[in-house]
Structure 1
Amino acid sequence: MSLFTQRNSILPGFGLTLGYTLVYLSVIVLLPLAALVLKASDLGLSGLWHIAAEPRIFAALRTSFSLALAAAAINVVFGAIVAWVLTRYDFPGRRLLDAAVDLPFALPTAVAGIALAAIYAPNGWIGGLIAPLGWKIAYTPLGIIIALVFIGLPFIVRTAQPVIVELQQDVEEASASLGASRLQTLRLVILPALTPALLTGFALAFARGVGEYGSVIFIAGNLPFVSEIAPLLIVVKLEEFNYAGATAIAVWMLAISFFILLTINLVQAWSRRRFGNV
């Protein structure tokens, strides 16, 4: 019995397509990552640990990952609501709003960062309104979260929309006819079906947020130990011709991201098995 199984496909030649897949992934993904790890191996484990243990670098890594996780979690909630409204309701301007969801994909990140900084700065439209209260958004970690929410929202909306389209309203009506409240229907019927898609969007938004640079540096303020992100430190190391330090930070970001994404994928696989028949 063959170790490989294949399904009927319009693309002929399993060996040819598999070979193309392996070559393409190797050239585009695996080789650059292997070169990165190989470059960092010159430092050794002790060197990598010494760089990561530097207070400024550790603080930047903590800022990047914690705020990316927070922004992705916020997007899961509000992105699901946006996807539901755009899919289930018909109202004037719906198509325009649906198209606007994709703007963070098309807009250059630097332009987005400048626009967000102008709006949320102490003299901006929104920042100026809350400045008298002693609150500050721009040039703080909160400003970073807003930028990451902006660039991560489309991932949640676009992964949730197809599932909502396929989710039959008859199931919700049946739940209501059996005496379930709206909250029970949401918790027992809607969320189980949406969970795998939301986890996929969460992973994509998180991955984008961790490596985001252009839209963050203008609104972050880039204060060490406060609002400095790890990608900015990589650029700083490169400008100092400290290629070993830049590579070490990149390897730590790669390792932490891989661990978190692997965990998310495992949870996603579990949710599919758990709620697949719901």
Structure 2
Amino acid sequence: MAKSLKKRSIIPGFGLSMGFTVTYLSLIVLFPLSAIFINTSGMGWEQFWQTVTDPRVVASYKISFGTALGAAFINTVFGFIVAWVLVRYTFPGRRFLDALVDLPFALPTAVAGIALTTIYSQNGWVGSLLEPMGIKIAFTPLGIMLALTFIGIPFVVRTVQPVIEELEKEVEEAAVSLGAKRWRTFRKVIFPELLPPLLTGFTLAFARAVGEYGSVVFISGNMPMKTEIAPLLIMTKLEQYDYAGATAIALVMLVISFLMLLVINYLQWRTNRHTTTA
């Protein structure tokens, strides 16, 4: 008589754990996000379209997503360099430099914005040196990108650093002994292993930058059509008790962010699949 055997998990409590996970994510993520759709549904399509296509709103979208992408790209490049230096080289002050990377995590974003504005304004330490060369950072999109780079660098460094630590130096030495030059060794041996964590770090830095508010409002100057970000415009709508308009802007940001993250996650999946089968 054939008996059907049910495969049991080694660790018990899957049902309880899954129920807790679904409930927790629903309360923290799904329900708040669904409220955006519910509040926006109260608007007519014409009013919704008029709100989200207003020139001031469109300009804020361009500034928010453009500076976030720029900051994420900068953090991906230089975050990799910082992580590589912290792992592959031993030098005095390395532990202090490693701890310094986490400072943007602990520092309040408003404090970061005030500090960056003080330093990079026209009368600041660095801004006064750049002003004669015609370079203006504070109260420009460049200043916004600087603030987003500041708050996003830890995401890339802490994502890439453990992978670099696990890379086997023997493989690199074998490639060099077989006649591969440094650039070819990096391109063929090292970079394929680091591409997935680099994409992950880029995703985290971009997601953090899109919703950043505290550090940006000080250094941006909040000039409509020039340096006004979408989160600030949402706050302005809320202060005017225009909840429908605020949720409409937030809904567009949510959809665009979701689509961009979906594309990045797809690239991550393709990269991981290629690395596994290679």
Given the two structures, how large is their TM-score scaled by the length of structure 1? Answer: 0.95
CA contact (8 A) 1:193 1:276 kept: no
Equivalent residue number for residue 239 of structure 2 = 239
What is the one-letter code of the residue matched to 1:109? Answer: T
Code of the aligned partner of 1:48: F
CA contact (8 A) 1:6 1:14 kept: no
| Mapped partners of 2:8, 2:175: distance in 1 | 39
Q: By how many angstroms is 1:51 displaced?
A: 1.2
| 2:20 equivalent to 1:20 | yes
- 1:258 partner amino acid: F
Q: Give how far 1:256 is off.
A: 0.5
Per the alignment, residue 193 of structure 2 pairs with 193
Q: Deviation digits for residues 42-71 of structure 1, max 9, x if unmatched?
A: 114443322111000000011101110110
Give the stretch that moved more between structures: 48-57 or 201-210: 48-57
Shift, 1:198, TM fit: 0.7
> One-letter code of the match for 1:82?
V
Q: Which runs of 4+ in 1 moved over 4 A?
A: 4-7
The structure having more radius of gyration, on CA atoms, is 2
The runs of 5 or more residues in structure 2 that have no matched partner are none
2:230 corresponds to 1:230: yes
Query: 1:22 is matched by which residue type in structure 2?
Result: V
Deviation at 1:35, TM superposition (A): 1.0
- 8 Å CA contact 1:113, 1:216 repeated in 2: yes
Aligned to 1:150: 150
Q: Tell me what 2:179 maps to.
A: 179
Per the alignment, residue 101 of structure 2 pairs with 101
Q: Report the residue type matching 1:265 in the other structure.
A: N
Between the aligned residues of both structures, percent identity stands at 61
Deviation per CA, 1:101-156, whole angstroms, max 9, x where unpaired? 00000000000000000010011011000111121011000000100000000000
| 3-state SS of paired residue (2:131) | helix
Which of 44-53 and 167-176 deviates more?
44-53
* Other-structure match for 1:121: 121
Give the aligned partner of residue 205 of structure 2: 205
| CA distances 1:17-63 after superposition (whole Å, capped 9, x unpaired) | 11111001001100100111111111144433221110000000111
Could you give the per-residue CA deviations for residues 203-224 of structure 1, whole angstroms, max 9, x where no partner exists?
1100100000000011011111
Return the letter of the residue paired with 1:165. Answer: E
Cα distance in 2, alignment partners of residues 158 and 98 from structure 1: 10
Alignment match, 2:55 = 55
CA drift at 1:277: 4.7
Moved more, 108-117 or 236-245: 236-245
TM-score normalised per structure 2: 0.95
Q: How many aligned residue pairs are there?
A: 274
Question: Which region of structure 1 is more displaced relative to structure 2, 218-227 or 114-123?
Answer: 218-227
Partner of 2:68: 68
Asked whether the equivalents of residues 140 and 226 of structure 1 are also in contact (C-alpha less than 8 Å), the reply is yes
Change beyond 3 A, Cα 1:5–1:193: farther
- Deviation of 1:8 (Å): 3.5
Structure 1 residue 7, shift from structure 2 partner: 5.6
Match of 2:38 in 1: 38
What RMSD over aligned residues (CA atoms) do the two structures have, in Å? 1.5
**Superposed counterparts of 1:259-274, under 5 Å:** 259-274=259-274
